[in-house]
Structure 1
Amino acid sequence: MDQIDADILLQLQRNAKISMKELAASVHLSSPAVIERVKKLEEQGMIEGYKAKVNLKKMKRTIQAIILFKSIDCKSLSDFCNNHPDVLECYRVAGEISYIVKLATYSVETLERFIDEAMPYGTPSTNIVLSSTEKKIIAPFCNENLDK
């Protein structure tokens, strides 16, 4: 990956809907050259896909929580979480805690219902999210960064 590929990745992370013409202008290449580079980045797996980010508040899912589980049945907990509509992310981790679940739900009552339904799979420790930040742009790892 060279600096132009890195710039393409940064631009696409800022705006995945950018036209190839605009992207080409921003990295000072022709549209066909940029299209070819994007295609190669996709084929190499550097770009996994494109998605729409939805506003959870506008969807009335105003309660977010991080729940730590000491699981007694990892497979069943994983299946439960993967099939639950409120679960955004589920991580199996090493250590005393076996799963970390991030969810967004409609109310404290629906959060309580999730916790009750998950109890057969392990012991939860619930942390309600008060605020959060998200890193929206991941800088590519370039060879020049390794030399510093």
Structure 2
Amino acid sequence: MDQIDKQIVSLLQSNAKISMKDLGEAVHLSSPSVTERVRKLEDQHVIEGYHAHVSLKKMNRPISALVLFTSRDCKALAEFCHDHPDVLECYRVAGEISYIVKLATYSVESLEQFIDDSMQYGTPSTNIVLSSYEKKIVEPFT
């Protein structure tokens, strides 16, 4: 990736709906040239997709939690998480715990139900999210 590609990626992370005309102007390229660069970045899987970022609160999911598992059956826990509607992300990790699950749900009762249902796969430790920060723009290492 050259400097122009880095600028393109940064601008698209800030505004994925930017027109190719505006993107081209921002990086001093023609629309066809910037479109070709974006296509190549997509083909190389530098750009993996375009997504709408939604408000969990407005989607009636005001309770977020990170649940750490010491798992008894890793594959079964992964399948359970994959199929559960409250799970947003699931990470298998090395160390004392085996999984970290990020979920968003509509009530403390539904969180309790998730914990109860998941206990057959391992021992959960639940951490309710009070506030969070998510980096929106990721810069490549040089």
TM class by shorter chain equals over 0.9
> How many Å separate the matches in 1 of 2:129 and 2:55?
16
> How many Å separate the matches in 1 of 2:41 and 2:87?
30
| Unpaired segments ≥5 residues, structure 2 | none
> How many Å separate the matches in 2 of 1:129 and 1:45?
31
Deviation at 1:79, TM superposition (A): 0.2
For the residue of structure 1 that corresponds to 2:67, the secondary structure is strand
TM-score (norm 1): 0.94
Q: Calculate the aligned-residue CA RMSD, in Å.
A: 0.6
Q: Aligned letter for 1:25?
A: E
| Unpaired segments ≥5 residues, structure 1 | 143-148
Deviation at 1:140, TM superposition (A): 2.3
Does residue 1:67 correspond to 2:67, yes or no? Answer: yes
Partner of 2:129: 129
Tell me the percent identity: 72
> How many Å separate the matches in 1 of 2:141 and 2:20?
23
Q: Aligned letter for 1:109?
A: E
For the residue of structure 2 that corresponds to 1:137, the secondary structure is coil
- The residue correspondences of 1:1-148 to structure 2 (distance < 5 A) are 1-142=1-142
Q: Aligned letter for 2:44?
A: Q
> How many Å separate the matches in 2 of 1:43 and 1:70?
38
Deviation at 1:96, TM superposition (A): 1.1
TM-score (norm 2): 0.98
For the residue of structure 2 that corresponds to 1:116, the secondary structure is helix
Query: How many pairs align?
Result: 142
Partner of 1:146: none
Q: Is the 8 A contact 1:9 1:140 kept in 2?
A: no
